[in-house]
Amino acid sequence: MSDASESSARQLATDARDRVRFEEEALDLSDQVYGVARRLVPSREEAEDLVQETYARAFRSWRSFQPGTNLRAWLFRILTNLNIDRGRKVQRTPDLQPLEESDYFLYNKLEESGADGTPDQRRVVERLSQNDAVTALADLPHDFRDVVLLVDLADFTYSDAAQILDIPIGTVMSRLHRGRRMLKGALATSAADES
Amino acid sequence: MSGFAFDPCDKCEQMMQPYLDRVLTDAEVREAEVHLDGCEYCRKRYRFEVEFRTFVRQAVAEPMPPELKEKLRSLRTPL
């Protein structure tokens, strides 16, 4: 074998090894990707499609991933971009009426509603229902939901979330703040309806 | 609280999300913690917030179907 073909053979082997490692590392993150995808779209089937598209694209474009940078953020960027590309309906900007509820209000509401009859104040959070949480999250306007999912579910920092969604960090913070409050507002309402 | 009087519980409330997100400065963290040490009202609400975050996370979690994992494996580039 000539020197040139030997070095290109070596290059191919290195390439294959890097690619396999990349694919394995990406697959190790698939539970987290699915967890967020499942809450980005309404049904399990759509979530499965979205995750498959995400991995198909990630594997196809593995060369554009810079080794040593954040693979998890890179994958979630593909996921959220694909979700936007899927033509999710353009939403009217949610009416930005001021949320006067404070950060303590959900606790205060739950404590109030449990005051009569329920002597057990120990775990106020147990008055909330799982289904209500799923519905409340699904009902958030998607710009807000994207941020809440990335930060509160997938544990990304504000700055990672900003890069993934390609929005300024200040926007991440304000959407997170609003999104969390909307979520609590919805849960406070459903908890009141059920009590 | 009436008028413009400074209410330390208001301040503590405003610090709750950034405190739990760990984005406060060290000085702000100390300020929040000094207040929390002496204030059961705020302490209860912070504790609830931590439980609430865990609750939401668990409530909306759905494990990935095992068949999907297999499908993803099959998308890998053949060697």
Average pLDDT, chain A: 88
As for the ipTM of the complex, it is 0.87
Query: pLDDT tens for residues A120-157?
Result: 556 788 889 999 999 999 999 999 999 999 999 999 99
- pLDDT, position A6: 84
- pLDDT, position B2: 46
Nearest CA in chain B to A157: B21
Dihedral sign from CA coordinates of A41, A194, B59, A92 = positive
- pLDDT, position A92: 52
Given a cut of 70, whether residue B39 has pLDDT beyond it is: yes
What Cα–Cα distance (Å) separates residue A99 from each residue in A127, A178, A192, B45? Answer: 23, 8, 18, 19
Q: What is the rounded CA–CA span in Å between residue A57 and residue A59?
A: 5
DSSP-H helix ranges across A99-168: 105-113, 130-139, 142-148, 158-165
Of B51, B73, B77, the CB nearest to A125: B51
- pLDDT, position A97: 57
Query: pLDDT tens for residues B7-36?
Result: 899 999 999 999 999 999 999 999 999 999
Interface of A with B in 154-193 (CB under 8 A): 158, 176-177, 180, 183-184
What Cα–Cα distance (Å) separates residue A116 from each residue in A105, A109, A112, A173? Answer: 18, 13, 8, 37
Q: Is A60 in a helix, a strand, or coil?
A: helix
Query: pLDDT tens for residues A113-122?
Result: 765 555 555 6
Q: What is the rounded CA–CA span in Å between residue A73 and residue A143?
A: 18
Q: Is B7 in a helix, a strand, or coil?
A: coil
Q: What is the rounded CA–CA span in Å between residue B12 and residue B31?
A: 9
A107 within 8 A of A125, measured Cβ to Cβ: no
Out of A3-7, A105-109, A172-176, the most confident range is: A172-176
Cβ–Cβ contact B72 with A under 8 A: yes
Which pLDDT band, with edges at 50, 70 and 90, does A4 fall under?
A: confident
Q: Is the pTM of this model over 0.90?
A: no
Nearest CA to B49 out of B18, B24, B16 is that of B16
Q: How many helices (H) and strands (E) does chain B have?
A: 4, 0
Cβ–Cβ contact B51 with A under 8 A: yes
Nearest CA to A109 out of A185, A47, A169 is that of A185
- pLDDT, position A177: 93
A102 within 8 A of A184, measured Cβ to Cβ: no
Which pLDDT band, with edges at 50, 70 and 90, does A1 fall under?
A: low
Tell me the average pLDDT across A55-75: 94
Given a cut of 50, whether residue B1 has pLDDT beyond it is: no
Cβ–Cβ contact A52 with B under 8 A: yes
